[in-house]
Structure 1
Amino acid sequence: MQLHRRTLLSAAAATLASMTVPLAGPAAAGADPGPEPPVEPGEPIFPRPGGGTRAIHTLNVDARAYLLDIRTGAYHRLPFLAVTLAPDDRTVAVEDVEGRIGVARRAALLRDGAAAVRWTTLPPGAVLWSPDGTALLTTTPDRETRRVTANRYDLATGRLRQTLVDFDSEGAVGWAADSIRYVVRLPGPDPEVPDGPLRYVDPDGTPGALLGTTGHIWDAHAYSPTRRHVIVEPARGYPFPPEPAPWQLPRILDLRTGTVVAAVPTDWPLLGWHDHRRVVRVAPPAEGLRTVLEVVDVHTGTVTRRVPAPGLPPYHLQLGSAAHLHGRAAALGF
């Protein structure tokens, strides 16, 4: 039975304050966070690695969205299909069951629910934050003409700017590091292989330079803190085949030199940067279906930390800073 969308949204909004996913897992060594609260059946279990500079801030799974309350360390289930964290960790974008996209301050959203959301005029689509956190981007495809339109919404002005990418491209439009230009993937030489070169696109739709690799660059979280390096995801869907080809692995592109400095073996998209030289991946499935996160040095390939997370799916996790986590919440860092 399918519930009416408005009924579903209203019911979810009414229960926002009480829908908290408690944390689970071992406490930090030497810490005394008190007893663990019970976990509701069917809810995800978030790991508590014990402390560090990064933490899981959002989870979107099975049309359910969870957001971390940095004051308490609790994850709240929100009345939206998805929640996407801005680079400043203080603002979020949300998508509701009707395809509307809105923005809200994080603290206000956790306090007031849907009443805190300012709805935008963005057409539906996967929401991508600009690297400077000032704009949102969605893509509208035209499958007949193989053209796409980049839809940019500026938070400060509320202005929607639409740019037609008037040449063949594949997949969604992503952000360039300057938060002004876009990045698209061109068709490759082999129509049977979903891989092609990356090209910049100016805000007026003018094609720009090539980037020096193939694949996709998505949003703010693809860029290292210095914005010198960027995560380039392969075009092939996930999970990967047992023995993926080199182009099917996420790569790290040096934007200054235009060269690929590393390929990172994983069956899933990279979760983002841990610092300026390390990324976070889902470990290859050596442990069956258990999710394990690994912090990997992109220059040496060394795994510097492992975070078991058996209570989470291996995708749609978003990382943020752990600098403002205190008390029980501090144990979420890694």
Structure 2
Amino acid sequence: MPPLLPRMNGKAAKPSPRMTVPVERSIDHCYVYHEGKRLPGEYHFSSALEKAHEASDGFVWLSLKEPDNAQMERVADAFSIHKLIVEDAVLAHQRPKVERYDDQLFIVVRSVNYADDEEVTDARQIISTGEAQMLIGRDFIISVRHNAWLNRLAQELDQEPELTALGPAAIAWKIANDLVEDYSVATAALSADVDELENEVFTPERKINIDKIYMYKREILEMKHATAPLGPALRTGIAANKDVLGKQIRSYFRDVLDNAMIVNDQVAGFDERLSSLLDASVAKVTMQQNSDMRTISAVVGMAAAPTLIAGIYGMNFTHMPELDSRYGYPVALLLMLLVVLLMFWWFRRNNWL
């Protein structure tokens, strides 16, 4: 049964309209480019296309940060975006992909950020991932970021007018290229950390932190999920969308593809090395435990021999010849000492101690 609405003057009150957040709250910037140069100032997303159409080769770059469904629908109305793209742009944590919707190309690239394990309080913060989505149209590009930073790109592109002159796809390439370059930074840091873990495992008599190995293996697995699908997606997307991606832009994206595949190989190598380190650590701990058990057994054995002799002398029998001997006590102690020394020599000779 639906909840009853409060009544006013005998009539049910109408539900209050849901409050919506203005689109401007999610906009990083809205720029218009003409002949490779960014026009001064920013434009409203609803009128930016009109300004771009004043020039035959102008286009719009609209950058959004984590828009909600209502905000994205307003942007879709202004730029005639396919409704399926609206759903994907609002939802984060998607696999890297390249999809075609009519004359619009939708690209998703995951971002990877690495932090030193000594600078974070939560192990899951060592490698954090985000997402950058790029919608390429004939005269616009809309970038949507979720936990990813793209702010520095606009200033860098101002220094490369020959690149932006290639159109909206050039900005998409720049975003993808910068994110994949961050992969290389993360893999370089991970390589140093994995080398350090190997030194800890294979250095004799050094304590092994297996939890740390598991922590890095889990983080590398998360990075693999973020980067591994990008290579196949770019390879298919470049081959199937030559009408949207010009020849020069395709060559640029192939360079991104090569770098992504290199990172994938490195991450797979890290995963294999960590698996080997886990096996070696378990074997080393098992051997250490066996050695400890042998040492404990040797000590218990050495303690058992004099205990046996003392137990025999502690029995209360009337006819015990040693009771009448003047040197029975020191002889018994000497016998205990000799037995312990003999056992110590034998255990030491066989590396039990």
Task: State TM-score, norm by structure 1.
Answer: 0.22
- When Rg is computed on C-alpha atoms for both structures, the one with the higher figure is 2
Higher percent of residues as helix: 2
User: Between Structure 1 and Structure 2, which shows a larger proportion of strand residues?
Assistant: 1
